[in-house]
Amino acid sequence: MLDGCVPWPEDLAARYREAGYWRGETLGALLRRWAGEYGDREALVGADGRRRLTYRALDAWCDRLAAGFAARGVAPGDRVLVQLPNTPDFVAVCFALFRLGALPVFALPAYRDNEIRHLAELSGASAYVVPDSFNGFDHRALAVSVRDEIPAITQVFVAGDPGAPDAGCVALADVDADPVELPEPDASDVAFFLLSGGTTALPKLIPRTHDDYAYQTRITGEICGLDASTVYLAVLPVEFNFPWGCPGIIGTLRAGGRVVFAETPQPLACFPLIERERVTLTSVIPTIVHLWLDAVEEGHGHDLSSLEVLQVGSAKLHDELAERIEPLLEVRLQQVFGMAEGLLTFTRYDDPRETVLTTQGRPVSPADEIRVVDADGAEVPDGAVGELLTRGPYTLRGYYRAPEHNATAFTEDGFYRSGDLVRRTPGGEIVIEGRVKDVVIRGGDKVSATEVEGHLAAHPDVQQAAVVAMPDPALGEKVCAYVIAAPGRPAPRLPVLRELLRSRGLAAYKLPDRVEIVDSFPLTGLNKVDKKVLRARIADKLERLAKAAA
Ligand code: AMP
């Protein structure tokens, strides 16, 4: 196992192998098998519908890309930052790196300088793959500046225009060589890194092994009944665990289905794709559900009748919204709760309607172990709220290169402390009730309060900042910054603080949506800022303002 990663203990690993969860196959080898089985069926379709790749073509492209990367010095064990939008390139680059035994480090397209530098340094990446530009942002310029400042990064690969020759970037199209024999990586080793939802200041790296991810995508694909007729629409950024492997893109490829990429979640972009490609399954967050249902109510003129299942997860789906989905979209709703760290819970197609509407379902694997515990770590009875702890065959045992954090993020017997407050129903379903971790879930994006507070405190007019979630009808939650002004300084205003954070290279979704200036913070008995009180205050205030405006 890669240095800096924490392996499963031998006895558990042996049990997972004996039970057939881990089958010793690498993701790169699996694609070769699928290409053999599904040959000329279409595997990937770009949003414009012009780029269409069969399994055979994808497999051959991955071999050439792997050889091309190897020829350009990318070696087994190297980490490679991959920050690409929803296109076939993303899948090809990842599988090429899997074949090579190099490890993709997923970077969200929304990430800017600050996040990318952090990921580059933490992962020790030697290469960085970007689009030329996306959503009006010049990714190539970002990549060049990161490469020029971080000595370990020696290469930038660009999907699209590599720019002027003196910038020294390589076009992905030129990463192409005759296939070569490559040593097969070990299936128990790390295949790639997902990102944590930011409970700490900046994302941590979640190592996912070939064995564990192959299992996750297989079991979730089975639960969802995927087969060669499945057409999956990748709406969320592909770097998220949800569209990549729950069962998502990999699960669909395993079943011989077709993956279609959407470049934005807007109904105006997605509905025509659903109609054109006869999409059967997709996975979204509650914010997107809102957009889609509103568009359906307004009338949109597209035929969505092929859509059979809508998976919703990543943030709490409230009952009222859940109830509108099936009648308006004429689909089956599947609630998904989970984390890039591992554990996934799904409602099942044959669950009673009440269960589907009001719970986040049951664990996907019989080997998922769950504990719901109180603040002292003692298990609480079913129906009582506690923190969810978990371990299992696809749940990490430690973040990459993070021994100190791991010491508190896991129990001694290897259970991951999710930071989510849940209750368990007598039927074994999980219901999300809140969280102990300090994160704002803005739409599906996780914003670490600690990270934003750290940046706000850098402003000379800010003495102290406390970031909390405030309710928002569209996004579920938004970012509210309570600020104590520095003595004798003017109270900082929202645009000024947003500009500060932007200039410090923070992704746009992390910028505060509102600032509340206060003289002091409420404190808990342990003299920590009492965020529960702050959250209640801002929720109260917004309600009063809304009433006054009505
Ligand atoms: P990520 O690793 O980015 O997928 O974030 C995982 C976190 O998202 C979980 O620990 C939860 O806090 C939250 N989450 C995921 N799914 C749901 C859901 N269905 N309902 C509420 N929160 C969710």
Ranges of residues in the chain whose predicted pLDDT is under 70: 198-201, 525-527
Q: Cα of 390 to ligand 1 centre, how many Å?
A: 14
- Please, are residues 157 and 140 in contact by the beta-carbon 8 Å criterion? no
Q: Cα of 339 to ligand 1 centre, how many Å?
A: 6
Which ligand 1 atom sits closest to the C-alpha of 335? 19
Q: Cα of 411 to ligand 1 centre, how many Å?
A: 20
Q: Where are the beta strands (DSSP E) in 355-503?
A: 362-363, 369-373, 386-391, 416-424, 430-435, 439-442, 445-448, 462-472, 476-485
Ligand 1 neighbours, Cβ below 6 Å, are: 197, 241, 313-316, 335-340, 360, 418, 420, 432, 435, 446
- The CA distance from 268 to 24, in Å, is 43
Contacts for 157-162: CB closer than 8 Å, 24+ residues apart: 157/93, 157/127, 157/128, 157/129, 157/130, 158/129, 158/130, 158/131, 158/132, 159/84, 159/87, 159/89, 159/129, 159/130, 159/131, 159/132, 160/131, 160/132, 160/133, 161/132, 162/132
- The CA distance from 36 to 33, in Å, is 5
Q: Cα of 193 to ligand 1 centre, how many Å?
A: 18
pLDDT at res. 525: 66
pLDDT at res. 200: 61
pLDDT at res. 202: 81
Task: Give helix 27-38 / helix 55-71 axis angle, nearest 10°.
Answer: 150
> Which residue, judged by its Cα, is nearest atom 12 of ligand 1?
420
Pocket test for ligand 1, best of 337, 396, 429 (most atoms within 8 A of CB): 337
Nearest to 32 by CA among 9, 73, 66, 5: 66
The CB density around residue 359, as the number of other CB atoms within 10 Å, is 22
> Which residue, judged by its Cα, is nearest atom 4 of ligand 1?
339
pLDDT tens per residue across span 414-446: 999 999 999 999 999 999 998 888 899 999 899
Pocket test for ligand 1, best of 420, 421, 475 (most atoms within 8 A of CB): 420
Which ligand 1 atom sits closest to the C-alpha of 435? 12
pLDDT at res. 457: 86
Nearest to 139 by CA among 451, 492, 507, 446: 507
- Please, are residues 489 and 460 in contact by the beta-carbon 8 Å criterion? yes
Taking CA 277 as the corner, what is the angle to CA 38 and CA 86, rounded to the nearest 5 degrees? 80
Which ligand 1 atom sits closest to the C-alpha of 194? 2
Please enumerate in sequence order all residues whose Cβ is within 8 A of that of 417, keeping only pairs 6 or more positions apart, or say none.
387, 389, 408, 409, 410, 411
Let me know if 306 is exposed, middle or buried by CB neighbors in 10 A (0-12, 13-18, 19+): middle
Which ligand 1 atom sits closest to the C-alpha of 419? 10
Q: Cα of 362 to ligand 1 centre, how many Å?
A: 14
Paired sense of beta strands 205-209 and 79-82, if any: unpaired
Q: Cα of 242 to ligand 1 centre, how many Å?
A: 10
362 three-state secondary structure? strand
Positive or negative torsion for Cα 359, 365, 369, 375: negative
Domain ranges of the chain: 27-185, 439-549
Q: Cα of 315 to ligand 1 centre, how many Å?
A: 5
> Which residue, judged by its Cα, is nearest atom 3 of ligand 1?
197
pLDDT at res. 315: 87
> Which residue, judged by its Cα, is nearest atom 22 of ligand 1?
315
Q: Cα of 29 to ligand 1 centre, how many Å?
A: 30
Q: Cα of 308 to ligand 1 centre, how many Å?
A: 23
CATH number attached to the domain at 439-549: 3.30.300.30
pLDDT tens per residue across span 88-147: 999 999 999 999 999 999 999 999 999 999 999 999 999 999 999 999 999 999 999 999
pLDDT at res. 199: 58
Q: Cα of 197 to ligand 1 centre, how many Å?
A: 8
- The CA distance from 197 to 449, in Å, is 12
Structure tokens at 118: 């952090």
- The CA distance from 468 to 453, in Å, is 10
Nearest to 428 by CA among 376, 368, 478, 481: 368
Nearest to 207 by CA among 400, 25, 66: 400
CATH number attached to the domain at 27-185: 3.40.50.980
- The CA distance from 401 to 4, in Å, is 5
